[in-house]
Structure 1
Amino acid sequence: MFVRTAEKLVKSRLKDPKSAKFKDTYFTNLNGSSTVCGQVNSKNGFGGFSGYLNFITIIGLEQTILKTDPYDFTKLWREFC
């Protein structure tokens, strides 16, 4: 259930949500936060797949952070995943 919710949130951030392919996706509850971590690949604006990208979805906040977002992603990954 949490994984499906996270995948929907991740897809909402993509240029071509229907092309999304997920792998290594898992649920964790580190630091008391229900979180789904994994990787997603999807088509870019040119129609080609852009390569797998790590993501973190914090379920309670319904927030998805992609590795390309302007955060210290490595720190967040260690903390939540």
Structure 2
Amino acid sequence: MRAMDLNELWSHIRFASPATHAALWALGLVLLAIFSIWSDNRRVKRSSPDAVGFMPWTFIALASLFVAAGLAIAAVKGWKAA
């Protein structure tokens, strides 16, 4: 079995079904939510209480998980319809 190069991988992604695109976006948003939760934990456990950040990490995590759930449901429905 040969390895897939980046151009071939990009071609598979580019010409995939809309359901697959929705699933890939959902995966990206779940990764963003994981990063947001990690960043919020870092913010809570900071050593200097005066060094407050400005990013609403909790809102970013919740919003991205909400949208990811909707995209995942749409992807499953699209795969079942095909």
With structure 1 as the length reference, what TM-score do the two structures score? 0.19
Report which of the two has the higher share of helix.
2
| Structure with the greater alpha carbon radius of gyration | 2
Higher relative contact order (CA 8 A, sep 6+): 2
